[in-house]
């Protein structure tokens, strides 16, 4: 093949899958290229908590043999991926980034882990994360915080921090993140990749360590929209092990990979996402405004919409999150508090100080927000917003309370459960990535993917690579 070894680690899932299918690329060769990339960069990035080099090469040899004998499984067969370290892996430690679970070894794979393996994926290892999916960059936990490949002095966002770093830097072709208030789309935006939070119930959470039962989502993080569609195809669908799992049929997401948004109605909630606010970076808003202009040029009809519940949704997301998290972690918080990192211990304890009334009022806001969003989504096909209020912050002087104060552009879609994707839409003057968020109606992942793909193909930001 003409692709040089130096370029193999940056092949997309779709590119690599096409070459593997044609017999022009070996899964072993591709896996070695990713392992070499990890060896070259991970001392600086700290993306991986656990690397499974020997196991990955063995899996790659098996994949190669299966493909050669005609047992090709599809576009994910032979593709190296990695998991945020709260996805259970049978016989392999799953720590959730915490000393509390440092020796926890599950006996079964998470459903999503198993489905990616069944699709022929090659598991490279387990990725760094904010402790129990809420902690933030915290040096009082057992693992180094992951660094942003666009600027190592900056964070990747959370809590799927290692997933963002590993995918953006070419250490793996794709990864799974989890999302309770923005933990897939946030790191995707700050690391210049694609991250999809599917509709609540679209992807099983069985075997994924809980933060907030009613707001947790599992989903893919990749370098392109088409790669997100491929990973979603592998993991989506009903799972009897997850009582919240939907029985809605799974469509063929590859059919959404076409450029066409003519006549699509796009709603802009300017009063919240684009308003002049000291907590919102104007450069971020400006780049997304430019992206909206691109969507209009591609045939979308853009109109302003109003969602009064947005002013209360962030608070509801936080109250529900820490209340449910405290319920899950209460036994360990009472008997082993010293094993939690400082940031997450403080946040979980807030959940213990909230009342049943606080939790119920937050759920009332949630009901209002769902009704509010459902009404607006009768008039538009998608909502388009900035993904994050700020570009990636620097480690130096980082304020761990910053993520729980002020606005959140991602939390509304965890509260309502609507599908939302972050797609790269440019950079700050300092070279830090910016993401645009596209949210759709329940289970309209096909529409969200098509809109994001159309923009991606026209804008081309996904072709940019970090300097590391």
Angle separating helix axes 356-376 and 310-335, nearest 10 degrees: 140
Which CA distances in Å does 209 have to 96, 205, 212, 296?
A: 7, 8, 9, 41
Distance CA 73, CA 272 (A): 45
In the chain, the N- to C-terminal Cα span, in Å, equals 25
Q: What CA–CA distances, in Å, run from 307 to 18, 232, 312, 371?
A: 43, 29, 10, 10
The two most distant CA atoms of the chain are separated, in Å, by 64
**Rounded to an integer, what distance in angstroms lies between the CA atom of residue 114 and that of residue 43?**
29
Verify cis geometry, omega within 30 degrees of 0, for the bond prior to 159: yes
Compute the distance between CA of residue 12 and CA of residue 76 in angstroms, rounded to an integer.
11
Tokens 């927000």, located at residue: 369
Q: Is 309 a catalytic residue?
A: no
Tokens of 8: 């193999």
* Euclidean distance between CA atoms 447 and 452, whole angstroms: 9
* Dihedral sign (CA 127, 130, 131, 132): negative
Cross-strand bridge partners of residue 50: 126
Tell me the two tokens of residue 70: 């005609």
To the query of whether residue 357 is one of the catalytic residues in this protein, the response is no
Tell me, rounded to whole angstroms, the distance of Cα 278 from its chain centroid: 26
Reading across the β-sheet that carries 433-439, which strands appear in turn?
Answer: 48-51, 122-127, 80-84, 174-179, 217-222, 194-197, 420-427, 433-439, 382-386, 265-268, 301-304
Residue 34: closest CA among 80, 75, 74 = 80
Tokens of 234: 């592998």
Quick one: tokens of 191? Answer: 């690391």
Angle between helices 225-235 and 445-459 (to 10 degrees): 160
**Pick the catalytic residue: 84, 117, 197, 441?**
84
Could you tell me how far CA 37 lies from the centroid of its own chain? 22
Judge whether 197 counts as a catalytic residue. no
What are the tokens at 404?
A: 């729980």
Candidate list 96, 169, 178, 183, residue with the active-site label:
183
Active site residues: 84, 159, 183
């Amino acid at each position: 093949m003409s692709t040089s070894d130096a370029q193999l680690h940056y092949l997309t899932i779709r590119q690599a899958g096409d070459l593997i299918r044609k017999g022009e690329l070996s899964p072993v060769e591709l896996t070695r290229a990713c392992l070499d990339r990890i060896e070259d960069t991970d001392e600086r990035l700290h993306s991986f908590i656990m690397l499974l080099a020997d196991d990955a090469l063995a899996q790659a040899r098996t994949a190669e043999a299966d493909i050669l004998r005609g047992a090709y499984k599809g576009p994910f067969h032979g593709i190296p991926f990695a998991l945020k370290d709260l996805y259970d892996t049978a016989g392999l430690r799953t720590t959730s980034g915490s000393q509390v679970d440092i020796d926890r070894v599950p006996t079964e794979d998470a459903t999503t882990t198993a489905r990616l393996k069944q699709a022929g994926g090659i598991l490279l290892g387990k990725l760094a994360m904010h402790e129990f999916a809420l902690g933030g960059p915290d040096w009082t936990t057992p693992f180094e915080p992951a660094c942003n490949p666009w600027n190592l002095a900056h964070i990747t966002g959370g809590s799927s921090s290692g997933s963002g770093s590993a995918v953006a830097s070419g250490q793996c072709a794709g990864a799974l993140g989890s999302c309770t208030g923005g933990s897939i789309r946030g790191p995707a935006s700050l690391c210049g990749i694609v991250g999809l939070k599917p509709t609540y119930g679209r992807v099983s959470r069985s075997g994924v360590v809980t933060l907030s039962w009613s707001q947790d989502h599992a989903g893919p993080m990749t370098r392109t929209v088409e790669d997100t569609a491929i990973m979603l195809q592998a993991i989506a669908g009903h799972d009897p092990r997850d009582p919240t799992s939907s029985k809605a049929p799974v469509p063929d997401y590859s059919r959404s990979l076409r450029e066409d948004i003519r006549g699509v109605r796009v709603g802009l909630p300017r009063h919240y996402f684009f308003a002049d606010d000291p907590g919102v970076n104007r450069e971020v808003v400006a780049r997304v405004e430019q992206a909206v202009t691109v969507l209009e040029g591609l045939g979308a009809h853009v109109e302003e919409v109003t969602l009064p519940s947005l002013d209360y949704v962030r608070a509801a997301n936080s109250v529900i999150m820490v209340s449910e998290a405290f319920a899950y972690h209460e036994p360990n918080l009472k008997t082993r508090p010293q094993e939690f990192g400082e940031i997450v211990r403080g946040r979980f304890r807030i959940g213990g100080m909230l009342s049943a009334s606080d939790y119920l009022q937050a759920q009332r806001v949630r009901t209002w927000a769902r009704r509010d969003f459902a009404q607006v989504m009768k008039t538009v096909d998608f909502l388009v917003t900035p993904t994050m209020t700020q570009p990636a912050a620097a480690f130096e002087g980082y304020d761990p309370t910053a993520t729980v104060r002020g606005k959140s552009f991602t939390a509304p879609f965890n509260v309502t459960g609507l599908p939302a994707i972050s797609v790269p839409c440019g950079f700050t003057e300092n070279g830090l990535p910016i993401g645009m968020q596209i949210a759709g109606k329940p289970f309209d992942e096909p529409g969200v993917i098509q809109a994001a793909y159309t923009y991606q193909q026209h804008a081309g930001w996904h072709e940019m690579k970090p300097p590391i």
